[in-house]
Amino acid sequence: MTESSTASNPDIEISRRRLLGTVGAAGAVGLALGATGGALVHSAVTDSPAGAPGAAGALSSLGSTAVAFEGDHQAGITTPLQAKGHVLAFDLAPGAGRTEAAALMRRWSETARRLMAGETAPTGDSGIALDAGPSSLTVTFGFGHSFFERTGLTARRPAALDPLPDFSSDRLDAQRSNGDLWVQIGSNDGLVAFHALRAIQKDAGEAARVRWQMNGFNRSPGATASPMTARNLMGQIDGTGNPKPADPDFDKRIFVPAAGPGPAEHAWMAGGSYAVVRRIRMLLDDWDKQSLAQQEQVIGRTKANGAPLTGGGETTPLALDKLGTDGKPVIPSNAHARISAPAQNGGAAMLRRPFSFHDGIAPDGTPDAGLLFICWQADPLRGFVPVQRKLDRGDALSAFIRHESSGLYAVPPGPRTGEYVGQRLLEG
């Protein structure tokens, strides 16, 4: 089916909304509000088992779950990890400035609002997701350092968006780094995620062009017997030390305060966050040659359940002072878990929310695979930078990874009803 025929057919245009309405009438289970304002999730599922009367056309809970577009913070930050993701950056077209950027953000926001609710795109819907629910779709927008020069807003660019320092282990590809505008798309269904990617790309029109784009994945919800921290492509549990929304200082660490330091020109970021994005290739062939014991020494945790080498379970605190019978620390001095621990970095913390990637086999026969590392913090100079500096100086894991691209983006707060993302910056 062509895009033009989809856009001109009102029955097709409303099919996703009609489907969700039918499911909701069959037996919605209600609303659940997360710990932060951008985490409103609606799940509508039928009580009828598959094949029973009334079950026809019903969505599973995976497909029917929707994440709110409006809120104190943008969706896709505290939203649970999604199975499929796309991360991409755009550069404004030559001659495009603040006016064109505002119009683009208005288009993108309306498209994201509709797609996240399980509706069709405002114009030219491709039909890719007509028979799907929202599937926890999130679309998150951010601005790079160069965006402010292109739009004449350098006076409103926060100091926290200053370029990241160079690290000795970096092997960065400039063509796959930075960018004026950044978009993160996540969903628990691959077609729903791709549908959003296509809509966002088409909405850019003549105003912006794709600078780089990367695809990622995580374990699907329900794939394990009970909820657990995700594993990366090395097989390691990844994200154990993440700040939790229930922590009393979570908002302080992750979101820009409403009345924080800095000039009034930067107040548009109140409630926003800063995303550091790194493509980290894992040298999996080299890693797989290591014995299990060697791998656990590199990480400082057991592979089976993520527990510290000093004992306990995954969430047991690291006993960094514990010595073995040989008089050496049980968790080696260069172990990744030790070096990255907040206690070793003046309390520096960030919310890691990555995707894994696999982009085929490289010419040398090795897998081009690894981690699309995405971390969130109120200030990258107090979050990512001090931790990465220490890792750069002696992390045992460095021998098995390669940082190949990098970006830092200011992610504004969630929009109010009727507002587009970034409006407080572009029209303030």
Which residues have a catalytic role annotated?
238
Exposure string for 70-93, b = 16+ CB within 10 A, e = fewer:
bbbbbbbbbbbbbbbbbbbbbbbb
Q: Enter the tokens of residue 1.
A: 């089916």
**Residue 48 burial class via C-beta count within 10 angstroms: exposed 0-12, middle 13-18, buried 19 and up:** middle
**Angle at Cα 305 formed by Cα 380 and Cα 253, nearest 5°?**
20
> Cα–chain-centroid distance for residue 291?
32
Cα 167 from Cα 154, distance rounded (Å): 26
Nearest partner of 91 among 170, 23, 178, judged by Cα: 178
Q: Enter the tokens of residue 338.
A: 């030790």
Nearest partner of 413 among 54, 86, 38, 16, judged by Cα: 38
In order, the DSSP letters of 254-323 are HS--TT-SS-GGGGGGTT-EEEEEEEEEE-HHHHHTS-HHHHHHHHSB-TTT--BTTSS-TTSPP-TT-B
Q: Enter the tokens of residue 83.
A: 């199975």
What length does the chain have? 428
Instruction: Please tell me the chain's helix, strand, coil percentages from 3-state DSSP, rounded to the nearest 5.
Output: 30, 20, 50
Give the list of residues 6+ apart from residue 93 with CB closer than 8 angstroms, or none.
100, 206, 207, 208, 209
**What are the φ and ψ backbone dihedral angles of 221, each rounded to 5 degrees?**
-55, 135
**What are the φ and ψ backbone dihedral angles of 391, each rounded to 5 degrees?**
-60, -35
Cα 401 from Cα 387, distance rounded (Å): 16
Give the list of residues 6+ apart from residue 18 with CB closer than 8 angstroms, or none.
none
**What are the φ and ψ backbone dihedral angles of 373, each rounded to 5 degrees?**
-75, 125
